[in-house]
């Protein structure tokens, strides 16, 4: 498509795009790349926060028709991309990797709904089988009731255990209320 080849020079122009499925989108061209063949439209929207933008990513192979609505480019309406400090990239990758690993540790698809609810509320939580370990010193055993909580530390585990018992009790009250429709 000839129009797609010329897109590199029209960032900021308003276009109307029709896909092979017949979906139409109108917005400003935010970005275009030949490899892998992507077109990004910046579409203005109004939310509770005021005027913002949505971004629609399209594969150029799926574009059936492209019509230029306005050849005027208003640079002030194009959202600016902030510069990235390349020195920070390894730190960002490390932090994101740690977050993914934490997500894996705190997810147990075999656990009950109650067990999943406790994981969301307690700080520093991991699964060990179907048991939940909180703050590396308190363990909650199925069926995750207050009576099923045990401190792994003999002396100073009491304050952590009290906190976990309050959280577990609160989760059960909330879940019972939801079951009753309250």
Cβ count near 68 (within 10 Å): 13
Cis-peptide, bond into residue 152, ω within 30° of zero:
no
d(CA 179, CA 182): 7
CATH 2.30.30.100 fits 2-77, yes or no: yes
Output the pLDDT for position 155.
58
The domain limits of the chain are 2-77, 89-179
For 9, the token pair is: 């020079």
In this prediction the pTM is: 0.41
pLDDT along the chain (182 residues), means of 10: 58 90 91 83 81 87 92 67 79 84 68 68 74 84 89 69 84 81 64
- Is residue 168 within 8 A of residue 118, CB to CB? The reply is yes
Question: Strands 131-134 and 125-128, how do they pair?
Answer: antiparallel
């Amino acid at each position: 498509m000839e129009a797609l080849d010329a897109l590199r020079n029209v960032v900021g122009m308003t276009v109307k795009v029709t896909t092979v499925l017949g979906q139409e989108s109108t917005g400003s061209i935010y970005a275009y790349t030949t490899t892998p063949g992507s077109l990004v439209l910046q579409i203005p929207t109004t939310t509770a926060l005021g005027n913002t933008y949505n971004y629609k990513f399209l594969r150029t192979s799926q574009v059936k028709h492209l019509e230029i609505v306005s050849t005027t480019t208003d640079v002030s309406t194009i959202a600016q991309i902030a510069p990235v400090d390349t020195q920070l990239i390894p730190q960002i990758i490390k932090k994101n990797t740690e977050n993914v690993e934490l997500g894996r540790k705190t997810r147990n698809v075999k656990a009950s709904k109650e067990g999943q609810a406790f994981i969301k509320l307690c700080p520093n939580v991991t699964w060990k089988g179907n048991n939940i370990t909180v703050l590396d010193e308190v363990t909650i055993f199925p069926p995750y009731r207050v009576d099923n909580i045990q401190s792994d530390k003999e002396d100073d585990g009491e304050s952590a255990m009290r906190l976990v018992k309050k959280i577990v009790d609160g989760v059960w009250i909330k879940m019972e209320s939801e079951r009753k429709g309250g």
